[in-house]
Amino acid sequence: MNRPDIEQIKKRCDRATEGPWAWNSPYEKSNGYVVGVAVNLANEFLEGKVDDPDDMVDNILEYHEYQTYIGDHEASTCNYNDPAFISHSRSDVPKLLDWIIELESQLKAAREAIEWWNKRAAKI
């Protein structure tokens, strides 16, 4: 497996609307979803599925400072695992990228230490 282009992934992530993101199913037939940035009445960010569709839709569609509409989907069938994945990805991807960058840094340090010890052992 080749190393993914972490830098490009991080750039795309950094350019996306800040998170966390939330989602719900506001449609009457429950065959769609809305994804966006939303806060509750206490101005706390919401993440993942929001159980109160009216609160979620009102928050997202009013375009307040901290509420941003990201997108929606409506179809005859709807896989609600998709918006769950999408809404959590805004928080998950940056965490994973930071973790990968940290692990790569540790791996580089470990390789340098091994190389140093190998050179030292060769002199003995």
pLDDT in tens, 12-37: 888 887 778 877 776 665 667 777 77
Query: Is 117 part of a structural domain of the chain?
Result: no
Q: Is the dihedral of CA 75, 79, 85, 88 positive or negative?
A: positive
Query: Is 99 part of a structural domain of the chain?
Result: no
Domain that holds residue 34: 6-90
pLDDT tens-digit series, residues 33-89: 777 777 777 777 777 777 765 555 555 544 445 555 566 666 666 666 777 778 788
Query: Is 106 part of a structural domain of the chain?
Result: no
Query: Is 119 part of a structural domain of the chain?
Result: no
Query: Is 69 part of a structural domain of the chain?
Result: yes
Total domain count, the chain: 1
Of 55, 49, 14, the closest CA to residue 35 belongs to 49
Predicted TM-score of the model (pTM): 0.60
Q: How far apart are CA 49 and CA 23, in angstroms?
A: 5
Give CA separation, 118 vs 9, 28, 124, in Å: 35, 68, 10
Query: Is 35 part of a structural domain of the chain?
Result: yes
Q: In this structure, what are the phi and psi dihedrals at residue 78, rounded to the nearest 5 degrees?
A: -145, 130
Q: Is residue 20 reached through a cis peptide bond, with omega within 30 degrees of 0 on the bond before it?
A: yes
Query: Is 56 part of a structural domain of the chain?
Result: yes
